[in-house]
Chain A
């Protein structure tokens, strides 16, 4: 059974803290993605990675960075968390089923106080 796991389901942090969101996939795919989801705004791409140590900015990279040291792990980093980064964060990879659809993790709901 394929899996994408995220380190926390819920997370509460304080303004200014450095926050790490971890994502691990077992599909052995090169591509991984980080999205944030906010009501009325849909899914917005923050960063994606197409190989180990490779990354590309998505639509809203400001305030975020990423790390991809191993193929199965893609980390999203909030260098100095702010209240406007309170959101649902979703990690995804590709399921090579023939459709190359994105397969999502369960999400991390981050609250920044």
Chain B
């Protein structure tokens, strides 16, 4: 079945350093979504990428979708303690009308002040 792999599983950075998490799918995706889960919280939607090679920015966060639409990345510039949490990518199951997602296992980011 469809698999979405995400690396690294954990990342510890000093505040101010950059951070990147990578997501790879075993199949071509129509789109990819990114979620953030703060400690003790629930996943919250961040963004969706649809087009091949698409790049979107949200302040210090930069999201990229690969040309082949099988991989994606999230890059955070100059991390802050507010960035702490687990970041998940998710791709849709194939099948018309399906809202089902396959989630990566997530990257847990720790920021050392």
Q: Are the CB atoms of A42 and B103 closer together than 8 Å?
A: yes
**Chain A CB within 8 A of B43 CB:** yes
Of the listed residues A33, A43, A44, A95, the one surrounded by the most CB atoms of chain B closer than 10 A to its CB is A43
| Chain B residues near A40 (CB-CB < 8 A) | 9, 105
A residues bordering B, Cβ < 8 Å?
31, 33, 40-45, 48, 50, 58, 90, 94-95, 99-107
> Which of A45, A103, A104, A105 interacts with B100 by CB under 8 Å?
A45
Secondary structure at chain A's binding surface: helix, strand, loop or mixed? strand
* Contact flag A99-B88 (CB < 8 Å), given A31-B99, A40-B105, A106-B42: no
B residues bordering A, Cβ < 8 Å?
6, 9, 33, 35, 41-45, 48, 88, 90, 99-101, 103-106
What 13 additional pairs, Cβ within 8 angstroms, besides A45-B100, A58-B100, A102-B90?
A: A31-B99, A33-B100, A41-B105, A42-B103, A42-B106, A43-B43, A90-B42, A101-B48, A102-B35, A102-B43, A102-B45, A105-B42, A106-B42
Query: Please, could you name 15 A-B residue pairs with CB atoms under 8 Å apart, sorted by A?
Result: A42-B6, A42-B105, A42-B106, A43-B43, A44-B103, A45-B100, A90-B42, A94-B99, A99-B33, A101-B33, A101-B45, A101-B48, A104-B42, A105-B42, A106-B41
Q: Are the CB atoms of B33 and A104 closer together than 8 Å?
A: no
| Chain A residues near B101 (CB-CB < 8 A) | 102
| Chain B residues near A33 (CB-CB < 8 A) | 100
CB proximity of A38 to chain B, nearest CB, Å: 10
CA distance A95 to B43 in the complex (A): 13
* Contact flag A103-B45 (CB < 8 Å), given A45-B100, A94-B99: yes
